[in-house]
Structure 1
Amino acid sequence: MTWKIYHNPACGTSRNVLAKLRAAGLEPEVIAYLDTPPDRETLLRLIAEAGLTPRAALREKGTDWRERGLDAPDVTDARIIDAMLAHPILINRPLVTGPHGTKLCRPSETVDALIAGARPD
């Protein structure tokens, strides 16, 4: 399986995670998700594989999520996913996939478990 990082180069955490992957000798496929957002099926798969709910995968910091009404407790998962697809900045990052799973790597140290799983014991 190819390593992938759903990356925002303007995000310090995303840059740190990419650097950690490269320092470990891994060269992931870098997906600039703001320019090339995932389709619905991929986004749902990433969220599920990471063990998240759409609400937990929603980026709040630096976004207009409240103005979009996504802070209401009765907002459905489908509405959150629709908002993420229409406005990819709402997808929390970086999401990293590798042979041993998918993780939302916030904080950046979260990627260490994926990297360690990639190395033979």
Structure 2
Amino acid sequence: MTVTIYHNPLCGTSRNTLAMIRNAGIEPEVVDYLSATPSRDALAAMIAQAGLTVREAIRSKESVFAELGLDNPALGDDALLDAMVAHPILINRPFVVTPAGARLCRPSEAVLEILPSRQAGAFTKEDGEAVIDADGQRVPKNG
């Protein structure tokens, strides 16, 4: 069983997702996608497997998004994928791929939908939000 996370260690959501994978007793393949960018075909396949459009998988908050004019609705998937491969900071993160599927794990708890094993114990995000209780069960969201 292989679990792969396309990870940016500077991103809190990515760090929380990685920690939840490890909390399930899984040591994933960690791909620093900024330096080991997936191929265009692999990226397109992962986005499709996650049930997203390319536009949903692009990180529009990055300055290079505006600089390249990627907000132009006339740009198709090919242009967006080319930009993501050329500028991997544009790939939204973290993507996780398991035998059960692929997800863009925003929020990080989305990873729980595709992990092959349950959480081994309590898990609290970096910001202090409790996600998993001591019995390995999801903590209900407040409000």
Q: TM-score with structure 1 length normalisation?
A: 0.93
Residue 65 of structure 1 aligns to a residue whose secondary structure is: helix
Aligned residues: 118
In the other structure, the counterpart of 1:52 is 52
Q: What does residue 76 of structure 1 align with?
A: 76
CA distance in 2, matches of 1:14, 1:87: 18
Cα distance in 1 for partners of 2:60, 2:8 equals: 15
Look up the match of 1:30: 30
CA offset digits 1:59-92 (Å, max 9, x no partner): 1223420121100111111000000010000000
Query: What CA distance in whole angstroms lies between the structure 2 residues aligned with 1:11 and 1:63?
Result: 16
Alignment RMSD, CA only? Answer: 1.2
- How far did residue 40 of structure 1 move? 1.1
Partner of 1:114: 114
- Residue identity in the other structure for 1:15: R
Which whole-Å CA distance do the structure 1 matches of 2:77 and 2:6 have between them? 21
List gaps (5 residues or longer) in structure 1.
none
Structure with max Cα Rg:
2
- Tell me which residue corresponds to 2:86: 86
Q: What percentage of aligned pairs have identical amino acids?
A: 55
Which aligned runs of 4 or more in structure 1 are off by greater than 6 angstroms? none
